Chain A
Amino acid sequence: MYIPKPSKFDPDSFGHFGIFGGRYVPETLMPVLLELDTYYKTLRFDEAFWSEVNAYLKDYVGRPSPLYFAQNLSNQMGAKIYFKREDLNHTGAHKINNTIAQGLIAQKMGKKKVIAETGAGQHGVATATVAALLGLECEIFMGEKDVARQELNVFRMKLLGAKVHAVKSGSRTLKDAMNEAIRYWVTNARDTFYIIGTVAGPHPYPMMVRDFQAIIGYEAKAQILAKENRLPDFVIACIGGGSNAIGVFSHFLEDEAVQCIGIEAGGLGVDTLKHGASLLKGSPGVLHGQMSYLLQDNDGQILEAHSFSAGLDYPGIGPEHAYLKDLGVVQYDNITDQEALDAFVWLSQKEGLIPAFESAHAVAYLKKMPSEKLKNSLIIINLSGRGDKDMIQAKELLSFE
């Protein structure tokens, strides 16, 4: 049974990963966060709680997700390439691992209502799903621009009984959805549980969400050892806020032989102003309750990110990634919109797997990796989600005659 393990990269008791993380929120929310922190401490290593979580993960989500050997891609690239199939989870992505656990915590804490922000809509759908399952009221905040480009997921959320707020301020994407969710939370702090979708936000969320997603790395490690009898050389994942990446990296970070690589959204190119590469191009700052790398101007105003994939279109990143970057434990690189779109087609036609636009960034990195590293290496790519939600957008970007 999966139970999180303490990590040498755990934050301190205030939630600091080095200088990053922490709790930068209006005072009204502090008692709520401290209560959650105290409550989560009692659950973190509690067998009864985890057996409940695992029961849902097994029979409702469909875990463990398979580790699939991609024969055709491997032949073409001259490496052994495995995909961790988070795309096969119920609701189509890794997000549900987290919402199951947070939903159960909300229920145990006696909260009747849950809220969530969403970018691509995957976290919104996963939250609405769990709310339906556990009988909780659910409101989702989503940027107006994302509502337009992810209309299928918006419909799914409504079908599941959630109320969807289209956020009209700022860049009308994930950043602004999170602003609005925080405003709602401050206003309804007493009875509302905020299910944050990634390893970001104020402590204890980054640590908690990491614990919930670390089941990906826990399974992947056992699976690769069973299939190959050795650890992988590389573990690759895309990064928006960074939850699928932290999840799959978690059980490999302390293995010297394994190099974890996180892929940020390069958008139209990291030398333009239109990208989401906070680690590469950002600097430390405070947004959404935490200190981390942010895309910002000389006055500390937050800049708009850009990615054609709504899930990576965010100017910040989880604080643990900022910490792992500065420590040099994880390598970070980026992939442009065009490279990701090419990989979206490539994986579809070579392996019959249609990845989410987000996950296509990680797949695309196979073609960007230095060939001396790639050749004959053993690689796990986290296929964090499936591409169904992206069909309408893909249809506009691609034509097959």
Chain B
Amino acid sequence: MKTLVAYITAGFPDIAFTKDLALGLADAGADKIELGIPFSDPVADGPVIEVANLKALQAGFKLEQLFDIASHIAPQIDTYWMGYFNSFYHRGFESFAKKAQELGVKGFIVPDMPFEESIQYAKILDQTALSLVSFVAPTDDEARIKRILKNAKDFVYLVAYAGITGSGVSEDLQDILTQIRLQTKTPVFVGFGVDEKTAKQKAQGADGVIVGSAFVKVLLDESLNGTQKIEKITSLARTIKESINS
């Protein structure tokens, strides 16, 4: 069974909604939740997730709300915090990691944290049993993939193309998947630009997909009310889960 990881922006439009949405996604077949920490300068993200980040901040998002949401959903679905490194660093990486551990969070996904910079935090991550998800990009060569994946834990995040989240670009990933398989037995999930139309093709040769912008686009649709948004997103999740496993 291939895995579906669902990204949602925390606290957008409010925390009660994020909790309902996360649990709705779990019911619809999502296996893991990437709880996005809104950040003022999300440089790896395309316009959809960027706008959701900025709107969540305008609506008053604070890290306390991330903790609240995580405490509610982590007991029911594998939960990861996805965000930019400054959010993890600002209050002290160690205390942030301990908070995550205490709330039952599984790991961190930090797109602006290459493995060279993460080395200094390896001990804290070990002590708190958190996984820092390894990113592999299509620009990486074999030697670098080998270095990155030496300590891969939980899953490998394969970036589907050189670019930002949610763009329509497509690159052939079969070679890089082969190279990753030579280095690790850790499952490989493909993210960036995965939606109901592309999921099946992007999941080819991988163990799962990560879907973000396709869900967040619905979150931003002002013609829908909260209930309709949850219905539409969970139905998309069902479709994607079926399609990658068909």
Contact = CB atoms under 8 A, between A and B. Distances in A.
A283 B144 CA distance: 33
A30 B137 contact: yes
B157 to A, nearest CB: 9
A190 B112 contact: no
A190 B139 contact: yes
A31 B141 contact: yes
B115 to A, nearest CB: 9
B162 A300 contact: no
| Residue from A26, A186, A188 having most chain B Cβ neighbours under 10 A | A26
A187 B39 contact: no
Interface string A6-28: 00000000100000001111111
B114 A28 contact: no
B90 A299 contact: yes
Interface in A147-192: 169-170, 175-176, 179, 182-183, 186-190
B57 A301 contact: yes
B162 A28 contact: yes
A173 to B, nearest CB: 12
Contacts of B113: 24
Query: Max chain B CB contacts within 10 Å: which of A27, A32, A182, A299?
Result: A27
B116 A300 contact: no
Contact of B117 (A23, A26, A285): A23
A27 B162 contact: no
A115 B221 CA distance: 33
A302 B41 contact: yes
Consensus secondary structure, chain A interface: mixed
Given A23-B117, A24-B117, A27-B140, A179 B41 contact: yes
A16 to B, nearest CB: 9
A29 B135 CA distance: 12
Contacts of A289: 112
A286 B112 CA distance: 9
Given A23-B117, A25-B114, A30 B140 contact: yes
A213 interface: no
A143 to B, nearest CB: 13
Interface in B45-81: 46, 50, 54, 57, 62-63
B121 interface: no
A179 B44 CA distance: 9
Contact of B167 (A26, A179, A187): A187
A97 B205 CA distance: 49
20 contacts: A14-B117, A23-B114, A23-B116, A28-B159, A28-B162, A30-B144, A31-B144, A34-B144, A170-B41, A170-B54, A186-B162, A186-B163, A286-B84, A296-B86, A299-B87, A300-B86, A300-B87, A301-B40, A302-B41, A302-B86
A-B complex: 6 closest residue pairs judged by Cβ atoms: A300-B90, A28-B137, A27-B135, A27-B137, A187-B163, A302-B40
Interface of B: 39-41, 43-44, 46, 50, 54, 57, 62-63, 84-87, 89-91, 111-114, 116-117, 135-141, 144, 148, 159, 162-164, 167, 169
